[in-house]
Amino acid sequence: MTTTEMPQVTAEEPAAQTARSRWNWPVALLVLLAAVPVVSMIVEVLRSPRLNFLDYWSVLGLASTPSGQYHLGGLFVLYNGHPVVIAGTLFWLDAKFFGGSNPALGLLVVVLSLVVVAAMASMLPRRLSAVKRAGLVAGFAFLMFSPGNMENFGEGMSGTHWLSGLAPAIVAIALAHRGRTVLALVVAVIACLGHGAAFPVWAALALIAWLRGDRPWKVVTPIVVAVLGGAVAYWTLPSSGSIPLPTFALDRLLAVVSGTLGMLWSTQIPDQAMLAGALSLIVLVVGIALVVRSRTLRPELRGPADEPVDNAGWTGLSVHILLAAIMIGISRAGLGDTVGESGRYAVISGIAACSVVAMVVLLWRKLAVLPAVVIAVTAGLVTFTMGSEQATNVRNQYPDQTVLAIAAQLDATKSMTGLRMNTSILPVVKGLGAYPFTKDFSLDCGGIELGSKLDVSQAPVLPGGPGHGRSGGYVESGPVVGDAVLGGWAMIDNKGPDCVLVVDDQHNVVGGGAVGIRRGDVAAAMHSSTFETGWHAVAAPQATNPQVVVIAAGKPYRLPVAPKQ
């Protein structure tokens, strides 16, 4: 009698041939689940302001001549301690071919984040079942595309700069994990032209080669390149906007490092972020130590879990991300203990979280498929949910970009400076024809634009303050003057206004701004369920006797200035 032995699925990993499981419904569902945060973030990017943010303008100035021509030589500097060769080039290309579009850079960040997820997925060993790998990828997607990382997507210049270094660095690590050292070295050089957070890639490449048992030159070369390259950069590259190093204090360093690693878990409670980051740090250090220990054991003494080759890439990535967090701690600790919880560091926190989840699953060999998937997906979903508050903080900054675009159009330099745009960049932006100096610039006010005529002499004045039924409004920022950021609220028939304008005494439209800003205090005072009643605006510097006007259902309403308290 002949019997056929059926393969058994135990708590341990399935055999190699079982790991190559065919496409099945759990894998399909997990792939669809992984797409959810990606699609969600694409929608968020498309909703972001058209005008770029903050450092975009300074770096664009380095990448351009005063007339807007590309100037590669200007990018060979350390901007706030970071290289900007790749980011500056991308910013210039964005200004030249996409009109200086913030959403265009945001979509680039989405692509680069997908590259990071794909590179990490490629390092998952084939001994893992397809379901387990799909579960890890779903977790990676929720961590990388978390709302807590909104600053790097909604403010595309930030994510572009970070990932122009980190994305190629992680690709280099994935290549080294596969033994493709020469190509990994080339990609690592590119990474180091993108951002300072890519610098630890050399330590990662050397460690990966050692864990794999590669030839000695593969271990030594990354170290030599790092030393020589660092020395050349230090002695030859000028610095622009560098932040001075703080006086060393171990407690402050650990606070910033932990806050950076745990940023995604809390942006409102510092101690919670530091605790999560400290736990991540411990898990990664233990994981690194276990893999390094397995490499030092003689092959005959290694157990089933001692597979340094399988874990080499993830160990290198863990070292890289820990060193990057330490670099941030050393360079930024002087700004405060909680600086590590700034939204721009969320990408470091996300990659660190991916490393934690992967190292736990890889080193816990007896972890069954279902618990592994639950751990990975739960970590991603919980982190994604906790990022909502940070996402709201970023969205709240969007209206001021609308005001800034109008201020640039009006040459309102004081307002531009207050809204953190370098006024010296205006000739470059005009030379490139980038937004807001494009033909499609608009106040989004039913065809009324800057320079239009609008007679509001007969327009009703909204009653000031609460207690006046369903309508009211105020200019709360003081007297209406040119080249100043104005602010207040307006409600017409229990609804917020459609747009806001500034009109001078000759009926010329000399300014405008953004509406739809949430004002919970107004809703409470007016006993209304309408929250989007706030507005911000700016007027031309030389505007004569300007007044603020809101438009609702095609009708203008004038706003009184709130009395001094």
| Interval 351-384: pLDDT, tens | 999 999 999 999 988 899 999 999 999 999 999 9
DSSP code of residue 196: G
Question: In this structure, are 502 and 368 located in the same domain?
Answer: no
6, amino acid identity: M
* Assigned domain for 135 exists: yes
Whether 553 is covered by a domain: the verdict is yes
Say whether both 119 and 213 belong to one domain: yes
The pLDDT assigned to 15 comes to 45
3-state secondary structure of 558: strand
Query: What is the token pair recorded at 431?
Result: 């030379």
Question: Of 358, 373, 391, at which residue does a domain stop?
Answer: 391
Residue 473, strand partner residues: 490
Per-residue confidence (pLDDT) for residue 334, from 0 to 100: 62
Residue 552 has pLDDT above 80, yes or no: yes
Give the C-alpha separation, 198 to 369, whole Å.
Answer: 33
Tally of CB atoms within 10 A around 552: 19
The verdict on 322 and 469 lying in the same domain is no
Helices (H) and strands (E) in the chain, counts: 21, 10
Question: What percent of the chain lies above the pLDDT cut of 90?
Answer: 72
pLDDT at 181 over 50: yes
Provide the domain count of the chain.
2
Q: Is the separation of the CB atoms in 110 and 38 below 8 Å? A: yes
Q: Which residue type sits at 245?
A: L
Assigned domain for 416 exists:
no
What are the tens digits of pLDDT across the range 300-332?
555 555 577 889 999 999 999 999 999 988 877
Report, as an integer, the average pLDDT of 484-491: 95
CB 509 within 8 A of CB 455: no
Backbone angles phi, psi at 509, to 5 degrees: -80, 110
Tokens of 308: 């340094």
Weakest mean pLDDT among 9-23, 32-46, 176-190, 378-392: 9-23
End-to-end, the C-alpha distance of the chain in Å comes to 98
Q: How many angstroms separate the CA atoms of 87 and 157, rounded?
A: 8
> Do residues 381 and 477 share a domain?
no
Residue 447 and residue 361 share a domain = no
* Residues 320 and 169 sit within 8 Å (Cβ to Cβ): yes
Query: Which pLDDT score, from 0 to 100, does residue 309 have?
Result: 82
What pLDDT digit, counting tens, does each position of 233-246 carry? 777 777 665 555 66
As to burial, measured by CB atoms within 10 angstroms (0-12 exposed, 13-18 middle, 19+ buried), residue 43 is exposed
How big is the CA angle at 222 (ends 221 and 225), to the nearest 5 degrees?
Answer: 85
pLDDT at 92 over 50: yes
Looking at the structure, tell me whether residues 238 and 323 fall in a common domain.
yes
Is the preceding peptide bond at 436 cis, omega within 30 degrees of 0? yes
| Domain end call among 391, 422, 456 | 391
At 29 the pLDDT is: 95
Residues 387 and 446 in one domain: no
The residue range of the domain holding 491 is 442-558
The model's pLDDT over 136-160, given as tens digits with 9 standing for 90+, comes to: 999 999 999 999 999 999 999 999 9
Asked if residue 539 belongs to a domain, the reply is yes
Residues 380 and 305 in one domain: yes
Judgement on whether residues 128 and 231 belong to the same structural domain of the protein = yes
DSSP 560: P
- Residue identified by tokens 């890890």 is 136
Residues 433 and 431: their CA atoms lie apart, in Å, by 5
> Does 344 share its domain with 473?
no
199 within some domain: yes
Q: Indicate whether 126 belongs to any domain.
A: yes
| Predicted structure pTM score | 0.90
In a domain, 176, yes or no: yes
pLDDT at 482: 93
What pLDDT, on a 0 to 100 scale, did the predictor assign at position 245? Answer: 60
CATH code, domain carrying 551: 2.60.40
Looking at the structure, do residues 152 and 219 belong to the same domain, yes or no? yes
Task: Look at residue 96 and tell me if it is in a domain.
Answer: no
Residues 373 and 451 in one domain: no
Residue 342: burial class (beta carbons within 10 Å; 0-12, 13-18, 19+): middle
pLDDT of the residue at 45: 98
pLDDT at 162: 96
Whether residue 465 has pLDDT greater than 80:
no
Please give the Cα distance from 315 to 284 (Å, whole number). Answer: 8
Of the residues 391, 407, 425, the one at which a domain ends: 391
